[in-house]
Amino acid sequence: MNLFDVYPLYDVTPVSARGIVVTDDKDQDFLDFYGGHAVISIGHSHPHYVKRLKDQLDRIGFYSNAVQNPLQKELATKLGTSSGCENYNLFLCNSGAEANENALKMASFHTAKKKVIAFKNGFHGRTSAAVAATDNPQINAPLNQQQEVAFLSLNDSEHFKVEIEKGDVCAVILEAIQGVGGLDEPTTKFYQEVANLCKQNGVLLIADEVQSGFGRSGKFFGFQHHDIQPDIISVAKGMGNGFPVGGILIHEDIKASYGLLGTTFGGNHLACVATLAVLEVMEKENLIANAQHLGDYFQHKASEIPQVLKVKGRGLMLGLEFNFEVAELRKKLIHDHFVFTGGAKDKYVLRILPALNITTEDVDQFFELLKRALI
């Protein structure tokens, strides 16, 4: 059997990784400023994370959600205090798309309505409702196009008000910083208007924090830069540092009932321990403050590069905008200078998503290599 050929692959085969360095099968080290799509939050193979997972595997790796799993409660408590979201309840699943799928479904159950407001250039995953709320017709099959979604421009308050007041909307889904799209953000004024209009119209506000959450933006959640309170917060990516785990934080005003949501694998013992280990390392190593500090340092270094038109994003969720398409630069960075970076839907933006425990020396090294690649 062959693999279903859906990924255009770089010719690199990682076989081990530690911290911010990924090593391939030819013993070549790569500087990882992309974290495998923003997944590596505390660095590859962090010793505390590895020990926690190995110890758990020696005990029990999985049992279903039909029996007690105290690790889920421990995780909910820890996530509540770490994020400042104690007045939410946690539902665990396995990926970002699944988190958004459950968030949208909850909003539809709660309001008994079905239209979603989403934003141009937004990305929310590849499953049914999540992909329908994603602004990319190429990945929406006819089946997905049955969903009712209105795509609006970010920061266009006028059209937003008209759309939400039509009275048929169950949810607004919004990234605090657009990841795949290219690092555009709602202004604080717009995010607050959205939150207020959602409240006034009985619509649930879903903060998609799959990429911007878990400290990456320099606060625990990206929406916390804007002083708003969403109804549902979706998380994944950095949450498990590579272990597949996702979840939604559901405001306590929204009530649960048996059977409303469910999953076989979600919240299994290994996923809980992976996430607990991430939160423990984030706290011990002060990684949210580090993301903010190193993000500022990165922006300062980027301002010295003449070819960089603009730095977008916050913390360690950043994009460097050039006046040329970056695909060739990314290839050059990987194959000639051994640096991983990311692309975006906006072809002029180079995405930077390193682990949150990088140092100023790592940033200096990155810019030395970028300068050489730009010659």
Residues near ligand PLP (CB under 6 A) are 37, 95-97, 100, 123-125, 175, 179-180, 208, 210-211, 236
CA 261, CA 247: separation in Å to the nearest integer? 12
Q: Pseudo-torsion of CA 153, 155, 157, 160, nearest 10°?
A: 40
Q: Which is nearer to ligand PLP, 185 or 208 (CB)?
A: 208
Q: Which is nearer to ligand PLP, 177 or 373 (CB)?
A: 177
Q: What is the DSSP letter of 222?
A: G
Give min distance, CB of 68 to ligand PLP, in A: 27
CA 141, CA 132: separation in Å to the nearest integer? 9
Give min distance, CB of 205 to ligand PLP, in A: 15
Give min distance, CB of 67 to ligand PLP, in A: 27
CA 248, CA 124: separation in Å to the nearest integer? 13
- In total, the chain counts a number of residues equal to 375
Give min distance, CB of 92 to ligand PLP, in A: 14
Count the alpha carbons within 13 Å of 104 in the hemisphere toward its beta carbon: 29
Q: Which is nearer to ligand PLP, 124 or 225 (CB)?
A: 124
84: exposed, middle or buried (C-beta count within 10 Å: 0-12, 13-18, 19+)? exposed
Give min distance, CB of 223 to ligand PLP, in A: 12
Give min distance, CB of 294 to ligand PLP, in A: 21
Neighbours of 28 (CB within 10 A): 12
Give min distance, CB of 234 to ligand PLP, in A: 7
Give min distance, CB of 12 to ligand PLP, in A: 20
Residues 31, 34, 40, CA angle at the centre, nearest 5°? Answer: 95
State how beta strands 349-352 and 317-321 pair: antiparallel
Q: Which is nearer to ligand PLP, 101 or 321 (CB)?
A: 101
Q: Is 32 helix (H, G, I), strand (E, B) or coil?
A: strand
339: left (phi over 0), alpha (psi -120 to 50) or beta: beta
Residue nearest to ligand PLP (CB): 96
Q: Provide the token pair at 39.
A: 């997944």
State how beta strands 232-235 and 246-251 pair: antiparallel
Order of strands, sheet of 349-352, starting from the edge strand that comes earlier in the sequence? 310-314, 317-321, 349-352
CA 167, CA 48: separation in Å to the nearest integer? 49
Residue 50 sits at φ, ψ, to 5 deg, of -65, -45
Cβ(274)–Cβ(53) under 8 Å? Answer: yes
Q: Which is nearer to ligand PLP, 127 or 292 (CB)?
A: 127
Q: Which is nearer to ligand PLP, 43 or 182 (CB)?
A: 182
Q: Which is nearer to ligand PLP, 37 or 48 (CB)?
A: 37
Q: Which of 232, 205, 252, 283 is nearest to 93 (CA)?
A: 232
Q: Which is nearer to ligand PLP, 43 or 238 (CB)?
A: 238
Give min distance, CB of 285 to ligand PLP, in A: 24
Q: Which is nearer to ligand PLP, 127 or 301 (CB)?
A: 127
Q: Which is nearer to ligand PLP, 231 or 362 (CB)?
A: 231
Give min distance, CB of 112 to ligand PLP, in A: 25
Q: What is the DSSP letter of 167?
A: S
